[in-house]
Amino acid sequence: MEKDITIYDIARELNLSPTTVSRALNDHPAVNQKTKQRISEAAARMGYRSNLFASNLRKQHTNTIGVIVPRLNSPFMSSVLSGMEKVANDAGYNLIISQSLETLQKEIANAKTMFNSRVDGVLVSLSYETENLDHFQSIINKGIPVIFYDRVAEHPSCTSIVIDNLQAAYQATSHLIEQGCTNIVHITGNLNRNVYSDRLKGYKYALVDHDLPYDDRNIMINNLSEEAGEEAARKILAMNPMPDGVFVSNDTCAVSCLKTLKQAGVSVPKDIAIAGFNNDAISRVVEPNLTTVNYPGQEMGEVAVRVLLMQMSGTVEGIPSNTINLRSELIIRESSVRSKVGNTKKKAVLS
């Protein structure tokens, strides 16, 4: 394996001082243009690579942002990362992306990696197992900004970026009720996380406001995967009486549930009306198209990096509070429309 070429190798090759070579490679005005050209050509010929990492360390920053996600195989998270990449790249930053795989142990290891990599800021969506933020404290103590997005927890030194999950779930459940559903199953994820606990609250509030009873047996908690949707559908088919509505906390699980129910002879939405969450591309492909909550993942990623850049530069005046709420909207499609009152073009905007 060839060793890295250094400025000392170039200096020996050209019989110049290392200082002159270093200045020339950094376009210093003290070195004349002819010498700069000669050094540049030698550097290219010899395969010299600038050590940007070391250079940035001397400037007390690395132009990198650490991102910790629960899972990379998520359409929503892919949308968030796309927004992050766009804004970060435009600002001259690179992302270091890692996934916790929904475990606290992996999330702790990810946080340590970010700390040791000397990232300039960290963006985190918490795992299912995370109950406290102790493993981020060493980062925070160093004055490195940490922002939580989507799956968040309160910390006095950190900003959270979310949507109003409670209100979004309330709207989705209310829509199913308005379509005539009176026995609605809610399929959701780990209730340790704000997104799922808030959606459960919204579901409950909608039932109360429409004078419908709440039943623990109508709550299914799983990992919201495709397989979980199939299993949820099998449980629904075994219920007596069978529910007439299903509200699911993500589209992957909702679509899988819908397809399994249809394969069993259930008519959607006539027998069971279904609504999902996130507005993933799959919601527009499945037949019937899935009613869902549009969760602005791309926007969330863009806002997260913009706020982080402001905090890294010491600009906090433009940040409204410790929690930033983005807008979402209920998109009503054929999977839930059971009456003439419904309109597949309708959008209920949530603030």
How far is residue 271's CA from residue 283's CA, in Å, rounded to a whole number? 19
Cβ proximity of 333 and 291 under 8 Å: yes
Sheet holding 347-350, edge to edge: 292-294, 328-331, 347-350
Residue 125: other Cβ atoms inside 10 A: 26
Cβ proximity of 339 and 179 under 8 Å: yes
| 328-331 vs 347-350, strand pairing mode | antiparallel
Residue 23 per-residue DSSP state = H
Q: Spell out the domains of the chain, with CATH numbers in brackets.
A: 7-50 (1.10.260.40), 62-163+297-326 (3.40.50.2300), 165-294+329-350 (3.40.50.2300)
**Which amino acid makes up residue 198?**
D
> pLDDT value at position 321?
60
> pLDDT value at position 270?
96
3-state SS class at 241? coil
How far is residue 92's CA from residue 52's CA, in Å, rounded to a whole number? 13
> pLDDT value at position 46?
86
How far is residue 186's CA from residue 274's CA, in Å, rounded to a whole number? 10
> pLDDT value at position 58?
56
Closest CA to 302 of 159, 151, 126, 161: 161
Per-residue pLDDT of the chain (351 residues), as tens digits, is 557 788 899 999 999 998 999 888 888 888 999 999 999 899 888 888 766 555 555 556 789 999 999 999 899 999 999 999 999 999 999 999 999 999 999 999 999 999 988 899 999 999 999 999 999 998 999 889 999 999 999 998 899 999 999 999 999 999 999 999 999 999 999 999 999 999 999 999 999 999 999 999 999 999 999 999 999 999 999 999 999 999 999 999 999 999 999 999 999 999 999 999 999 999 999 999 999 999 999 999 999 999 999 998 876 655 556 899 999 999 999 999 986 544 444 455 443
**Residue 37 token pair:** 């050209």
- One DSSP character per residue, 160-174 reads EEEE-HHHHHHHHHH
Residue 156 sits at the vertex; the CA angle it makes with 154 and 160, to the nearest 5 degrees, is 45
> pLDDT value at position 342?
42
**Which amino acid makes up residue 253?**
C
> pLDDT value at position 345?
40
**Residue 108 token pair:** 């702790």
How far is residue 76's CA from residue 279's CA, in Å, rounded to a whole number? 8
